[in-house]
Each structure stands twice: as C-alpha cells, then as structure tokens.
A and B are shown apart, each in its own frame.
Chain A
Amino acid sequence: MKKNKTHLISNGILIIVLLAVAFSMMVPFLWMITSSFKNNNEIFLYPIRWIPEPIRLKNYVEVWTKIPFFKYFRNTFLYSITVTVGQIITCSMAAYAFAKLRFPGKNFIFMIYLATMMVPWHAVMIPQFMINKRLGFYNTPWSIIIMNLVSVFGIFLMRQAMAGIPDDLCEAARIDGCREFGIFSKVVFPLCTPSLATLVVFQFTFMWNDYLAPMIYLDNDDYKTIQLGLASFRSQYNTDYGLIMAGTVCSLIPILIVYICAQKYLIEGVAFSGLKG
C-alpha cells in the first residue's frame, strides 16, 4: 500500500517534470507561431504575450505574394515524390535480389553497398558535382533527383522485410509458373508495405529538408526547393520578423502533416537505423 502511494507521487512528479521539459522544447515553435501573427513591435515585447492581441493575418497573406512559395512547394513536392517512387523501385529490387535470389558474388556486392554507407556524402560531393555537371544535370532538377534515387538505408530496410517472408511462398509461385519479376511484384513486394511506408516517409522528410545539395546544384530560381526559398526569403526580408516566421510556419506544415499521419513509421525507421548501426 505504502509503496503504491510513493509510486503515485513519484510518477506525478515525473509527469510534471516531463511536461516542463516538453514545454521548453516546444517553446521555439510556440514562439514562431505566435510571432507569425504579430507585427515587429509586438514580437519583441517582454514578457512574451503568447496569445497575440490582435491576431494579425497580414503576414500570412503577404508571404504568398512576396515570395513564390507555391513554386518552391510544388518543386519540392515533385522532387520528393520522384525520388521516393524511384527508391521504392531500385531499393526493393535490389533488396529482393539480396534476400531471395542466389547468384555468385551476392555477398560481396552487398558488402560493397554497405561499405558505401560509411562514406560521408560531404566527402564525395565535389566529384559527384563534377559528374553531374558532365552529365548535363547541373542546374536542373535531375541533379538532386538522380543521386538520391537509391539508398543503402532503403535497400537494407527492404531486405530485412523480405528476409522475413517465407521462401516457400516464392517457391510455390515459381512452381505455378510465375516469373521472377512476377514473384517480386505480386508476391513479395505487397507483403512489405510497412517497411515501404517507413521508406516513403523517411525519403519524403529527407528530400523536403535537404539543404546543401539543392544549394550546390540549383541556381535557377525556377527549380529551387522550399529550403532554398525560405533561406533566401529570410535574407531578403531580414528585418520583418513576423513575415519570416509566417514563412517558416508554412514551410513546416507539410512535415507536420506527415509527422501526425505517419509518426509511427518515422520512429520505426529511426529505431531501425539505430539497431543496424
């Protein structure tokens, strides 16, 4: 009895502490949101007025007229979707070969794939840039799409999912006269949907947030991504804090939606990337 009581109290304290930590971790975002509804003078008032008064929508209206946000959104969406679809194809195909087929050199090739994971992207960005330029992809969306069309993470994730599917299932399909591509696309692939969801969410988030690669490759404003747009918007209007905050809020909305809808898959992906090490 007594133990239960102390337990209850300690749990209560823990929850209060956690709430305090959660609030302080959210403060930057809360401040961003409230500031986006204020004008410059109101933003830097102390103490902070968390609920703006009056609520000004002006920043949100202006943001869409002062900067081609829509164009940046559309571009980033297109790149993210292309890359995600591409990765689903390339990664799950490679994963199928590694998980379900037998051919000479398989383990060696897989080792090389894994080894490339240790190479930091920043170490190869210069030669990669030269190759992209040579292929004529520089300053076109293809530059950042093509080099992201495959990922070791994706292959590894899908291979793990496919390894869990019984070989008998494939064998049965083979006996039924199913071709290898048919077994892959009709039997194995549909059974991997949870891992596919993880891959999709991961890649989308990655592409949406990517900054350095688009910065290096996309000079033409028509091709720029949301992060580039946001960064240049910020340097252009660098004293108009309310406006900048409204733009930042807008840039975060798609990620927030993905997070709310598919949080489970994101967190699973992170746990997976940690386990594999």
Chain B
Amino acid sequence: MQKNDGKKNIKIKYRKSEVISGYLFILPSAILFLTFMIIPIFMGFYISMTNYDGFKTMDFIGIKNYADMFKDSYFTISLKNNVIYAVATVPGTIVLSLLLAVAVNKGLKGSSFFKTVFFFPYITSNVAVGIIWSLLFNPNNGPINNFLRGIGISSPPDWLLSTKWALPAIIVVSIWKSAGYYMIIFLAGLQAISKELYEAADVDGAGGLTKFFRITLPLLSPTTFLVVILMTISSFQVFDLINVMTEGGPGRATNVLVYRIYQEGFKYMHFGYASAMAYFLFFVILIITIIQFIGQKKWVTYQ
C-alpha cells in the first residue's frame, strides 16, 4: 500500500485543495505534539546541562549532572534495583503469559472466560492493586504470612518492610499484573501459526511437548522477541506500584530510576539533575529500541 502511494506521488501532481486540507487536518495534532513532546525533548536535554532549580538559577554547567549521577550512590542503587527488577520480571512474565496463552489457545470450553480473568489485573489501577497487595503482604497478620505460618514457616519474611524482600514482593505483583497483557500479545502470535503444521506433526506422531518446542516456540520467536523488548522498556518505567507500596523503601531497597527522577525533580526541585537522569532513561530505552529494530529486520528475513 505505502509503496504504491509513494510511486503515485512522483507521477501525479498534488492537488492544491488536497494539500491544504492535508495540513489543516494534521494541524491540531501537530501543535500538540510540538508543544508537549518535541519541544520538551530538546528542552529536557538543555535543562539536563544546567543547575535549574525550578525558580531562578539556570546556569549552564555542561555535563556535570551526568558526571555527578554516576558518583551518586542513590542513583547507582536505583539503577541496580531497576536492573534486578527487569531481569526478574521479564522472564517471569514471559513464562507465565506464554503458558497462559498456549492453554487458552487450545480452544477449550470456557477459554474466553479464562482470557477475561487473566487479563483483568492488567486494567485495574496500580494504586488499587498496590493497596490490596500491601495489605496481603502485611507482615504481622496479613493473609500471606498467616498462610505461611499455617503451613509451618514460623518466621515468614517481613515483605515490604524488609530490605531483602520488598523488591521481590513488588516483582511478584508486577508479574501477576502484566501477565494477562502479554498473554493477549502471545495469543495474537499463536493464532498466526498455521494449523496445518500441527496436523502434519500429529500425523508423524509428535507429542504435545515436542510440538510445543519444535513448532510453537520457534515460530513464536518474533512475538517473544517483541514481548521481551516491550517488557524491558516498561520495566524501566515502573513507578506507580513502587510509590504506592514502598515509596522506594525501606531505605533505598526499592528505589528505581523513575522514582529517583520523581524524587529529585518534584520533591527537591532539582530539575537540572533530574533531567539528566531522565535523559539517561531515554538513552537506555533508545538502545533497547535500536536492538528491537535490528532484531526485527533479522527475523523478518528469516520468515
């Protein structure tokens, strides 16, 4: 479609009225994008090289903020936590959502019911979910620890109050919340796999596991790749759950990149420094996106 349009463009002269209406139709969105997206992108980069405090001071200080960032243990800890969070949530969510997708895709009775149930946590707000899970994780008499004591674990973890267990607890909640979303994306991928392949495998007498590892997984790899990318990007943007459940604590145990940006920017009004961290985040996501671009091209040629 696109290519044909391109060729026509060369041959046919633009109609004046069409050109004018084209720009007019784009105008509202273009103004909004320019003001709230494109200008901020450049502005943010400039601010990140100043010591702007939200009021008066705004001196150009070059890359000092960026240099300071890596000396700031608060920042490096939040980066480390964020990497741990990503490394744990991505595989965890992939395994769960893939299994759910494969099971739902079997076309059993009630599979649409299961789809509905599994997807539901995703559309509920992080605030509501964070509140519910905070109570569930209550170390003294919350249901989770009551249950653990019930099965004979005499001193279960303090979860959100423990520097060791707070991050794992948040990881569990994240996996639980987003599995349904990625299940839907996996389902779209599964439905694109031709049924004939499975029928051929049936004729050859292949078992369920063989079919899963020899047909489903390899043919699903472009989807899996996409899901890994989407998930990695979103794990570097985690904020809501952390703010509701732990506020980055206890201590710095669950401080992550965006939480750090929020703290520096909107609690201490260190706009310059916060912008530098925001640009670092931008950079991280840009790299992931570039990996996606390269990887996608590779897979398209294989198909």
Contacts and interface: CB of A to CB of B under 8 A. Distances in A.
B200 interface: no
Of the listed residues A126, A227, A266, A275, the one surrounded by the most CB atoms of chain B closer than 10 A to its CB is A126
A67 B151 CA distance: 39
A91 interface: yes
A122 B281 contact: yes
A234 B146 CA distance: 22
A138 B129 CA distance: 28
A212 B115 contact: no
Interface in B136-150: 136, 138, 141-143, 146-147, 149-150
Interface stretch (B30-38, B71-79, B161-169, B213-221): B30-38
A26 to B, nearest CB: 6
A115 B12 CA distance: 28
Given A90-B28, A97-B25, A109-B30, A102 B18 contact: yes
Interface stretch (B59-67, B86-94, B233-241): B233-241
Interface string A81-110: 000000001110110111001111011010
A223 interface: no
Contact of B14 (A103, A107, A209): A103
B114 A22 contact: yes
A35 B134 CA distance: 14
A17 interface: yes
Interface string B13-47: 01101110111011011101101111111011001
A255 B123 contact: yes
A131 to B, nearest CB: 6
Given A101-B22, A124-B40, 13 more contacts: A15-B109, A22-B114, A25-B176, A101-B19, A102-B12, A122-B258, A125-B265, A127-B39, A227-B125, A234-B244, A252-B128, A270-B185, A274-B230
17 contacts: A11-B108, A15-B109, A22-B118, A26-B117, A90-B29, A98-B26, A103-B22, A107-B2, A112-B33, A119-B285, A120-B237, A123-B279, A126-B44, A126-B275, A147-B36, A270-B185, A277-B229
Interface of B: 1-2, 5-6, 8-9, 12, 14-15, 17-19, 21-23, 25-26, 28-30, 32-33, 35-41, 43-44, 47, 100, 103-104, 106, 108-110, 113-121, 123-129, 131-133, 135-136, 138, 141-143, 146-147, 149-150, 176, 179, 181, 184-185, 187-189, 208, 223, 226-227, 229-230, 233, 236-237, 239-240, 243-244, 257-258, 261-262, 265-266, 271, 274-275, 278-279, 281-282, 285-286, 289, 292, 296
Which 6 pairs across A and B sit closest by C-beta, in order of nearness?
A103-B22, A274-B185, A127-B40, A97-B25, A46-B146, A123-B282
